[in-house]
Amino acid sequence: MSPQDRLVELARERGSSLASLSRMLGRNNTYLQQYITKGSPRKLEEEDRRKLATFFGVSETELGAPQENSYASDRDWVDVPRLAVEISAGPGAANGEELAFDAFRFSRKWLREQGLEPGKLSAVRVIGDSMEPLLREGDDLLVDLSPKPFRDGIHVVRLDDSLLVKRVASQGGGRFSLLSQNLAYPPISVEGSAMEIIGRVVWKSGRL
């Protein structure tokens, strides 16, 4: 598979448009479309390739890099993209454009032991205090985006135009409770059709 075809496949799997990916690279909206359809540029710049590989959680070699120059040539490690999105543990944060600006590096073996797929992970930051003491403002969360049957736990959800991190519990009958750890925040009861579960929180980091 050519690097161009692989890029199209990765974008489709992630639900990302070529225009938004081009903007992530600091390029004009048609940059990647031109690369894929017209071969201009003939190959991706090294920095652009690195950013895309980090965003998708794949080796740079899949996007045209020589094996010896790939950030993932050390097969023991995986870079998980940090998204430029803050997840509210308070009243609700407006949804921003979900573009990677950095990455966390995880052991491939550890991810495998946790049953996590590298290309289906993202990292986001918490704002607000509704999930204290479990999650504090400034904590970074590892979110599993892979489609799996629902089970109660800490999830990132989209409700209206806001992104929240809450403990989500099924009430039955298609309804769910969004629960805060901080008892100053009352539970929120919603129809399943009124929210979107983005992913399950599987790990956190934060300052002591």
Asked, as a colleague might, if the bond just before 133 is cis with ω within 30 of 0, I would say yes
- CA quadruple 143, 148, 154, 158: dihedral sign: positive
Give percent above pLDDT 70 in the chain.
Answer: 90
pLDDT at position 94, please?
A: 46
pLDDT at position 75, please?
A: 64
pLDDT at position 101, please?
A: 79
Residue 109 three-state SS: helix
Beta strands in 4-148 (DSSP E): 77-88, 93-94, 100-107, 121-127, 140-144
For the chain, which domains are there? Answer: 3-69 (1.10.260.40), 77-205 (2.10.109.10)
Residue 6 three-state SS: helix
Q: Report the helix count and the strand count for the chain, using DSSP H and E.
A: 5, 10
- Tokens representing 41 are 């540029």
pLDDT band at 206 (very low <50, low <70, confident <90, very high): confident
Q: Long-range contacts of range 60-63, CB-CB < 8 Å, 24 or more positions apart? A: 62/3, 62/6, 62/10, 63/3, 63/6, 63/7
- Tokens representing 25 are 């690279």
Average pLDDT (99-118) is 86
Residue 153, by phi and psi: left (phi above 0), alpha (psi -120 to 50) or beta? Answer: left
pLDDT per residue over 117-170, tens digit each? 888 999 999 999 999 999 999 999 999 999 889 999 999 999 888 889 999 999
pLDDT per residue over 43-93, tens digit each? 889 889 988 988 888 888 888 887 654 444 456 788 898 887 778 765 544
Indicate if the pLDDT at residue 197 is higher than 90.
yes
Higher pLDDT pick, 67 / 198: 198
- Tokens representing 90 are 């308070």
pLDDT per residue over 7-42, tens digit each? 999 998 888 899 999 999 999 999 999 999 988 888
